[in-house]
Structure 1
């Protein structure tokens, strides 16, 4: 396999990546995974060179489509195209598509009685499918829900050495859920590709050696801490930039750029700016005439479609509705900002720009026992498209005690009660420097979570919102 270097070769099936790939890995068939759906020139070059091309991807397909020998992409809907393989229903990420391809090949190999196919156990790769599906933020419905459910079972019952080491170094408590994948494991795996090369993460997932996996997991943990610091520095600058210029009525899409920002983390920064301003956000950077960047969106705004609408101003682009990447000449950034905001004015209604916290039910503190938690557990796996249920509790007497957690005390842990029940632990991530309310008559909105430590199970609450009787 060959993984393009995002800093030197760019994203996806670029001509430079192809040249380097063929130089180190000569081949007659090239399978492009998670890229290629808009790589018209690259595919034409490969086929003219006598190389068969298979594209396995879930990103936006360009108007002028590449013509590989086989095209596997759920977004292809033209049923008259005999070169396309169609996937209907909920969108699979490329890890899910790869699993489907492997499944089909194993089935065909067994039917043809080819050697080795009967011995291949497809269940052994289910953990990788779960990792990829959760990390790529596709909806956990239909096939995705099934794939993640079985993959999670394998991660918890028989983790491969690399995952076992990563779980240990990230101090992740069992059982591992989609939450731990999204916030503990995936960031460390992604840190390698964001700052250096993704090969370290690949080696970790492929090795059978506990010693090598421990070494690689520690390397990824160090890289992740470095990534967090770089990301935090850029985030502070981007936030200040956005705060100074933001117009609630005119800025439907934020486009922020600065020379020297690390392009490997701008997508994460974009996610944080979306959280703060609730606007689709694109962060760009570079050190020459061409800037690269990533964008994140809000519900109801298709970012990939917006970039396609502005394609005349871009060098290249790709992605899906909630996340996308692009390259642009610096001289075109201001024009692009105006163009994408004009497109947004035609496609976003005002109600879509107001973040909504959907509450499933109001309950009492006394309802929160282990039986209640067991009922919630049956709805898992939670994620995009199948969110964890959200509850409201009113008239809590007070915050009993609290303490700050994490670097610089950016997280808050506190305990609540209603004067009748025992104290209950609440975690608020990224609380920041906001004052801790001490008044009575609190109302909180939260997701219940089951925490298990050394065989002891207890319910804790992940805080989503909090108000006092004065509405603060």
Structure 2
């Protein structure tokens, strides 16, 4: 599939000024300027994050109310239920908050609750509230959910149960009647940083409670490994407080993680220092698999377990869930691809809607993402769940999926989501009508260029500028994530040396030169681009910088993303 190359513009004057003060590579300075790092002081904060730069938690709207309600519950010996979602953000939030409250309160008055994905669904559940009522809980602290649970929180109030909501999802105009709502995205919340994940909001509440009780910061900084895991998995912007928390959390993951994370690292077979990428692709899927395939409570149990042998046993359960998840997701993806590839009408659509009654509900979101990568168009995967059809939807960059689903609401029982992803449900007899309407809506509203994947390129660079010093500075830009991605470069008028070759029929091992400098590189799944090299003509190359270890030697290599013949 051809891709659009979007080479970001360079602010020449700001880049020159930054280079003058930093004395580093001009291409890197242009990248930093584009990321808002346009002065020596900002660069200092960026390259040397500090926990002292975290904002005062009491700047967050309702923080005082939340602390007052928790402390009064403790003084009155009321039971507290820590409630969270079944994904990585939810389970890490619950594990850290539950442990912290047990430090300041008698643990026999504290429990945690994770709703079952299939029996209770996403977020606050009636079953969870009923459990709280039956067991005499007076206060529920919800993490990574609750901002939209207006009716359920009102129901809890009729049972004499108060709620403190810690959430980061976009609030509606009407808010639940909770004692306190901690969410920096509220219109009247003046907290300086708006992009915390659910675990990050919980961390701020722990910070505020620690300040109230005069507790040493070590008693909540010890959960930074869980906070960093949530930040990585929830794909929130790697800026501001998120970057500080992830930076120090990653340090903790690599030096002194909790027994649960240590066990997941062991099962993941990671021998070297972890990056955020390792957390996203090795640790997070195993945590998420618990909720996808079974019960996410065991993810929380893993994080709060202190005994290393017991933690390893729990981690093995998650590891097993993940293996089952991979097998299930692989099978369903293959079936979905066959459905599309064998149907000329589906192939030529601007959207994808596929449905099979037997598909596992826990992985249809992953399958939707895989189909979106393959065909690059708005995609919905549907399966049967009891008497109704449930679906998961994924969009392409720049297209408002939620609005498209909303336009098809006459065929739906329910739906929810945001710009890039959504969930929906309908009666089985409405599947065909919905698929046709969704295609009509997408075809009428999507701009043609949005159906071509875009590669955002940070800077134009010459091979002569690439050296160990440049790579070392790039490494100091970590942790990478949204709005602070690993720098992507383009090098123009590159030539093949004649030594490049296809590896395992899928990948390309590059040996290429520009002027008099030669680099090796690896291009995964780029075998179909090998013909560009065979022309013996100059080509342009998009890549990131990486290291290759071989026979005890470490050398810089290019990780090739795309290439095309040079236009000049």
Please indicate, yes or no, whether the TM-score normalized by the shorter chain is above 0.5. Answer: yes
1:95 aligns with 2:199: yes
d(CA) in 1 for partners of 2:558 and 2:303? 32
Counterpart for residue 388 of structure 2: 290
Counterpart for residue 497 of structure 2: 397
d(CA) in 2 for partners of 1:418 and 1:138? 37
Q: Which has the higher helix share?
A: 2
Question: 1:111-130: per-residue Cα shift (whole Å, max 9, x none)?
Answer: xxxxxx34752211111111
d(CA) in 2 for partners of 1:34 and 1:135? 13
Quote how far apart the aligned CAs of 1:277 are.
2.0
d(CA) in 1 for partners of 2:213 and 2:148? 31
d(CA) in 2 for partners of 1:320 and 1:453? 45
TM-score (norm 1): 0.83
Counterpart for residue 448 of structure 1: 545
Give the conservation status (yes or no) of the 8 Å contact 1:306–1:343: yes
Give the conservation status (yes or no) of the 8 Å contact 2:457–2:488: yes
Which of 418, 421, 435 is 2:513 aligned to?
418
- Cα pair distance change 1:56/1:368, threshold 3 Å: same
d(CA) in 1 for partners of 2:548 and 2:318? 26
Aligned 1:192-341 pairs, distance under 5 A:
192-243=290-341, 244=343, 245-246=345-346, 251=350, 253-304=351-402, 306-307=404-405, 313-337=411-435, 340=438
Question: 1:42-80: per-residue Cα shift (whole Å, max 9, x none)?
Answer: 111101111001222223434654322222234432x3x
Q: How many residues align?
A: 448
Counterpart for residue 555 of structure 2: 458
SS at match of 2:471: helix
- Cα pair distance change 1:177/1:265, threshold 3 Å: same
- Cα pair distance change 1:242/1:44, threshold 3 Å: farther
Counterpart for residue 12 of structure 1: 123
Give the conservation status (yes or no) of the 8 Å contact 2:113–2:297: no
Aligned 1:425-440 pairs, distance under 5 A:
425-426=521-522, 428=524, 431=525, 439=534, 440=536
SS at match of 1:171: coil
Give the conservation status (yes or no) of the 8 Å contact 2:495–2:512: no
d(CA) in 2 for partners of 1:300 and 1:255? 19
Quote how far apart the aligned CAs of 1:356 are.
1.4
TM-score (norm 2): 0.70
Quote how far apart the aligned CAs of 1:332 are.
3.8
SS at match of 1:36: coil
- Cα pair distance change 1:329/1:216, threshold 3 Å: same
Counterpart for residue 66 of structure 2: none
Give the conservation status (yes or no) of the 8 Å contact 1:72–1:86: no
1:187 aligns with 2:298: no
- Cα pair distance change 1:90/1:60, threshold 3 Å: closer
Question: 1:341-398: per-residue Cα shift (whole Å, max 9, x none)?
Answer: 5665676433333321122334444544322210211222211122211123421324
Task: Give me the CA root mean square deviation.
Answer: 3.2
Segment of structure 1 superposing worse, 117-126 or 169-178 = 117-126
Structure number with bigger Rg:
2
- Cα pair distance change 1:307/1:119, threshold 3 Å: same
SS at match of 1:358: strand
Give the conservation status (yes or no) of the 8 Å contact 1:261–1:285: yes
Question: 1:395-446: per-residue Cα shift (whole Å, max 9, x none)?
Answer: 1324545544xxxx8x746352439667624151xx2985865735565422
Give the gaps of 5 or more residues in structure 2.
1-111
Give the conservation status (yes or no) of the 8 Å contact 1:54–1:68: yes
SS at match of 1:384: coil
Give the gaps of 5 or more residues in structure 1.
80-84, 111-116
- Cα pair distance change 1:143/1:398, threshold 3 Å: farther
d(CA) in 1 for partners of 2:232 and 2:186? 23
Quote how far apart the aligned CAs of 1:28 are.
0.5
1:37 aligns with 2:132: no
Quote how far apart the aligned CAs of 1:151 are.
1.2
1:105 aligns with 2:209: yes
